[in-house]
Amino acid sequence: MSEILNTLMQDARVWQGQHHTRTSRPTESTGYQVLDNQLGGAGWPRGALSECLLDEPGIGELHLLLPLMQRLSQAEKTVFWLNPPHIPYAPALAREGVNLDQVILINTEDDGDFLWTLENCLRSPVTGLVMAWPGKLATRDIRRLQLAAEAGSNVCVLFRERRHAEQNSPAALRLDLTAGSQQALKVNVLKRRGSWPGQYCSVAMGHRADLAFREAPRVVQGPWADKAG
């Protein structure tokens, strides 16, 4: 029995009150050392859902994913954009080192198609990253997507409105994002496996762990052009 308890205590999904637990589950660095430090020295969880909660798109939220997009696309992994609110600016992404041959944009017409498409993207072995902008999601839908993410062992980030912060969610990571001053993004960790909420940092877009991204503020400034047709 003691061996079983010890095993459970080492699992980052078991919250231990005042103790931080450094997860051994696979992760991908965000590319921002200050943010990785707030995430237990890890980064985006693989095989799990992450949620970015914000009031409106275009505050710099895509900068958080740019290092990962560059890294995974160069490794021949597919980066899916599902129902983005605006058209991604391909020339700027290419200028920042994103392999556009590995970028796929999908728009769906209803909630059923969205869930089906997202679930299949998550389960695909070619997927490295899925970024999705859902409408209303029931808790049971998020659980279904969580199972798909576990099966695919890739990174999935859902961009949702801040009002959903009060909704119970099985997502492994939940970040509250607000625009800061001088091209910075304020990040408040609402939930992280193996730790308690409340970690906070300000991410300066021009000062990331990888200096190859020092010109990143050019990528997405927002607002973007409306969708064609």
Which of 186-199 are b and which e, b meaning 16 or more Cβ less than 10 Å from the residue's Cβ?
bbbbbbbbbbeeeb
Residues 134 and 122: their CA atoms lie apart, in Å, by: 14
The pLDDT value recorded for residue 87 is 83
Token pair 């275009």: residue = 58
Question: Looking at domain 24-162+171-218, what is its CATH homologous superfamily?
Answer: P-loop containing nucleotide triphosphate hydrolases (3.40.50.300)
Residues 154 and 210: their CA atoms lie apart, in Å, by: 22
What sign results for the dihedral spanned by CA atoms 10, 12, 13, 19?
positive
Confidence (pTM): 0.79
Q: Give 68's contacts (C-beta < 8 A, 6+ positions apart).
A: 28, 29, 30, 31, 44, 129, 155
Report the DSSP pairing between strands 200-204 and 173-179. unpaired
Cβ burial of 32 (10 Å; 0-12, 13-18, 19+) is: buried
Residues 194 and 40: their CA atoms lie apart, in Å, by: 9
Residue 31 · residue 67 · CB < 8 Å: yes
The pLDDT value recorded for residue 92 is 84
Q: Give 102's contacts (C-beta < 8 A, 6+ positions apart).
A: 72, 73, 76, 77, 78, 79, 128
The pLDDT value recorded for residue 19 is 44
Q: Give 209's contacts (C-beta < 8 A, 6+ positions apart).
A: 29, 31, 32, 33, 36, 67
What sign results for the dihedral spanned by CA atoms 87, 95, 58, 196?
positive
What's the order of all strands across the beta sheet hosting 155-161? 103-106, 78-82, 127-132, 155-161, 48-54, 173-179, 184-192, 200-204
Q: Measured over all CA atoms, what is the biggest interatomic distance in the chain, rounded to whole angstroms?
A: 62
Question: What tokens does 31 get?
Answer: 């590319």
Per-residue pLDDT of the chain (229 residues; tens, 9 = 90+): 555 545 544 444 444 444 444 446 789 999 999 999 888 888 999 999 999 999 988 888 998 999 999 999 999 999 999 999 888 888 888 888 999 999 999 999 888 899 999 999 999 999 999 999 998 888 889 889 999 999 999 999 999 999 888 888 889 999 999 987 767 889 999 998 766 666 778 887 754 443 333 333 334 333 334 444 4
The pLDDT value recorded for residue 168 is 80
